[in-house]
Amino acid sequence: MRKKVIEVENLVKRFGHFTANDNLTFEVYEGEIFGFLGANGAGKTTAIRILSGLSSPTSGKVKVAGFDSGKQAEKIKKNIGYMCQKFSLYEDLTVKENIMLYGGIYGLSRSQIAERTGILLDKLRFREYENKLISELPLGLRQKLSFSVAVLHEPKIVFLDEPTGGVDPITRRQFWEMIYETAASGITVFVTTHYMDEAEYCDRISIMNEGRIVALDTPGNLKKQYNVSSVEEVFIKIARPDASHPPAPSPGSG
Amino acid sequence: MRTILYLIRKEFIQIFRNKFISKAIFAVPIVQMLILVPAVTFELKNVDIVIIDKDLTPESRGLISKLAGSTFFRISGKTWSEKEAENLMLHNKCDIILHIPDEFGMNIGNGKPAVLQAGIDAINSSSAQLSWAYINGIIRDYNSDITIDNISTSGVSSFPIIDITNRYWYNEELNYKYYMLPGILVILVTAIGFLLAGLNMVREKEIGTIEQINVTPVRKHQFIIAKMVPFLLIGLIDLGVGLSIGKLAFNIPFEGSILLMFLGAAIFLIAVLGLALFLSTFSGSQQQYMFVAFFCMIIFILMSGIFTPYESMPQWAQDFNLINPVAYLMRINRMVMLKGSSMNDISGELISLGVIAVCFSTFAVRRYRKTA
């Protein structure tokens, strides 16, 4: 039996009358690449913010890296990395200054920071950029750097919220190579995405619709179950059961 | 502790990498001191008087030349028409109308009380009162001149006159620059503390970088302290720049201990920075923060006693000033700079300011949420 690093039971998150997460239950195992799929507004970002301790659940049990999300959010934060869809390194700091800042925040020693900065810059072939401001880097490079900084302190889990949004296909491919390497080193990767081809790379995927998880399995099993050849088709069958038009905008009309 | 140092380092890099802010931090105190200290003054000079002299006697002319001889007043016109005089005042051409009735000289000659009437433009009530006090003084002088003349001509050898001499302590020449400069320094330090730190915090919210910080194990107090320290230092440096300008450009006397003044300013800055960061947690945008901060700053500064005496404010205003850090620093600066007050003399102010600083900073740490 593999070790569980994320355990979610009956997670509910409400904002006023709006239920963003409706009774989510799932588990994520150590070293796994777990894909979190869903249409815009399905509740992915809300869930990922709760898992990473940025938001607290309305009800339900959430355990991340062995800690309770409601009461021990700060302990969770020591054990995770997080990269969100909105790019969030400091644009007015250089590449090196950003790495040093986050290394320092996560409590790495001066020598550890120097060593890991070197490895990171070499791996990304970033040496020429080390003293460049983030604002001078192209988006693709920023995203790669952002991901590397999120795993700099070797967390147990890294959360990636639409990490490849707006990035060209070649960079996306390189980005996924980085994800594979990270997972191979034992770090669990929890990733949300819009790109269905990326979903194929995940070990397991869950598909959310209107706040609920409507499917959860390996990409292969899901394709078999829905008798289609790609995750994209699975997604369309699930998220748009009638497959012809988007859901009615107001509940009263349908 | 190490985490705080990394965060402080980041703040300093960001502040000094911003070309505008890094220059403005030093330009603002210089410009502010050079402009405000000489400009903000209550000193009255060149108050325009229009005289309606219906008397035209040596006595009335004597009074007029006495007025014209003082530096406060400028005889800007003479007329016989009250209508014309009123018109001049209506169009801001004169500040005072002095009416000398036709029996003025005759009454003085006969030893009867003579009457004058002064109309003063009181749009600005404090300058009106001041003009009135000055004009009163000149007429009193003139009055005693006449009395002494009369005594010497009437042959009475003694006539009791109470003569009072005064001395203005701590600011002998009633130099308004000396009075205002410590206050302008307070405004300077307030603006640095209040605006820069709060805006910096809200900017991180707007850009979204605060989210990345919130998902790390940074402790709340670490982040708040790291936001305070750079602006605390910048505020103190600006105070030093301001003081140097006071010395070099205005040769302001400095009676007390400079260290004591910096101590007061440091505690004050912690209080103001705490309040600024507390307020920033309520604001989602820099625009919102500016509005709130500006509003608070105006209240704090105007109520602090910089322009108006603290003691003459209504009781509720004096009570409010118990939590107004600006009021404390205003008193500390004036006492230390002009009076040379010692640590003992201002210990009450320092302790109160310290309590306020601890409270406001605690509020800021408490209100800052890492988890929504």
Instruction: Quote the pLDDT of residue B309.
Output: 81
CATH (residue range A4-89+140-147+155-243) = 3.40.50.300
pLDDT digits (tens, 9 = 90+) for B18-36: 999 889 988 988 998 999 8
Instruction: Quote the pLDDT of residue B139.
Output: 86
Return the amino acid letter for A219: P
pTM of the model: 0.84
- CB < 8 Å & 24+ apart, contacts of B283-290: B283/B198, B283/B202, B283/B205, B284/B202, B284/B205, B284/B206, B285/B202, B285/B206, B286/B199, B286/B202, B286/B203, B286/B206, B288/B202, B289/B198, B289/B199, B289/B202, B290/B195, B290/B199
Query: By C-alpha distance, which of B186, B173, B313, B319 is closest to B252?
Result: B173
pLDDT digits (tens, 9 = 90+) for B167-222: 778 777 777 788 889 999 999 999 989 999 999 999 999 998 999 999 999 999 99
Best A78, A82, A88 residue to mutate vs chain B (most B CBs within 10 Å): A88
* Interchain pair B6, A105: CB under 8 A: yes
- Kindly state whether B16 is in contact with chain A, defined as any CB-CB distance less than 8 angstroms: no
pLDDT digits (tens, 9 = 90+) for B113-155: 888 888 998 888 878 888 888 888 888 888 888 777 777 666 6
* A1 confidence band (pLDDT: 50, 70, 90): low
- Kindly state whether B7 is in contact with chain A, defined as any CB-CB distance less than 8 angstroms: yes
* Interchain pair B217, A77: CB under 8 A: yes
**CA-CA distance, A191 to B358, in Å (whole number)?**
43
Of residues A55, A78, A105, nearest to B371 (C-beta): A55
Which of residues B161 and B57 earns the better pLDDT score? B57
| A199-222: average pLDDT | 92
Return the amino acid letter for B138: I
Instruction: Quote the pLDDT of residue A2.
Output: 82
**CA-CA distance, B28 to B6, in Å (whole number)?**
28
Of residues B211, B217, B218, nearest to A84 (C-beta): B211
Give the other-Cβ count within 10 Å of B132's Cβ. 14
* Interchain pair A54, B18: CB under 8 A: no
**CA-CA distance, B273 to B218, in Å (whole number)?**
20
**CA-CA distance, A249 to B121, in Å (whole number)?**
68
Burial level of B39, CB count in 10 A (0-12/13-18/19+)? exposed
- Of the ranges A104-113, B153-162, B338-347, which one carries the lowest mean pLDDT score? B153-162
| A122-146: average pLDDT | 91
Neighbouring residues of B339: CB distance < 8 A, sequence distance ≥ 6? B170, B255, B256, B345
Nearest CA in chain B to A88: B209
* B278 confidence band (pLDDT: 50, 70, 90): very high
Structure-token pair, residue A53: 């301790």
Query: By C-alpha distance, which of B287, B238, B267 is closest to B361?
Result: B267
Structure-token pair, residue B188: 């300077």
On the question of pLDDT at B6 being above 70, the answer is yes
* CB-CB neighbors (< 8 A) of B10 in chain A: 90, 93, 97, 101
**CA-CA distance, A66 to A15, in Å (whole number)?**
27
**B204, A92 in Cβ contact below 8 A?**
no
Nearest CA in chain A to B219: A74
- Kindly state whether B214 is in contact with chain A, defined as any CB-CB distance less than 8 angstroms: yes
* B161 confidence band (pLDDT: 50, 70, 90): low
Structure-token pair, residue B298: 């105006």
CA distance A160 to chain B (A): 12
Q: Report CA A128 to chain centroid distance, whole Å.
A: 29
Beta strands in A75-227 (DSSP E): 80-83, 157-161, 188-193, 204-209, 212-217
| B239-265: average pLDDT | 92
Average pLDDT of chain A is 89
- Kindly state whether A14 is in contact with chain B, defined as any CB-CB distance less than 8 angstroms: no
Instruction: Name the DSSP class of B113.
Output: -
Beta strands in B64-152 (DSSP E): 73-78, 96-100, 117-120
**CA-CA distance, B49 to A67, in Å (whole number)?**
82
On the question of pLDDT at A246 being above 60, the answer is no
CA distance B293 to chain A (A): 25
Fold of B47-154: abc type-2 transporter like fold (3.40.1710)
* Interchain pair A93, B370: CB under 8 A: no
- Of the ranges A185-199, B38-52, B58-72, which one carries the lowest mean pLDDT score? B38-52
CA distance B13 to chain A (A): 7
* A92 confidence band (pLDDT: 50, 70, 90): very high
Instruction: Name the DSSP class of B212.
Output: H
Instruction: Quote the pLDDT of residue A253.
Output: 38
Structure-token pair, residue B11: 């703040």
Best A48, A58, A82, A92 residue to mutate vs chain B (most B CBs within 10 Å): A92
ipTM above 0.90, yes or no: no
Which of A231-245, B42-56, B139-153 holds the top average pLDDT?
Answer: B42-56
DSSP element (H, E) containing A19:
strand A18-29
Domain ranges across chain A: 4-89+140-147+155-243
On the question of pLDDT at A226 being above 70, the answer is yes
Instruction: Quote the pLDDT of residue B140.
Output: 85
On the question of pLDDT at B164 being above 80, the answer is no
CA distance A31 to chain B (A): 21
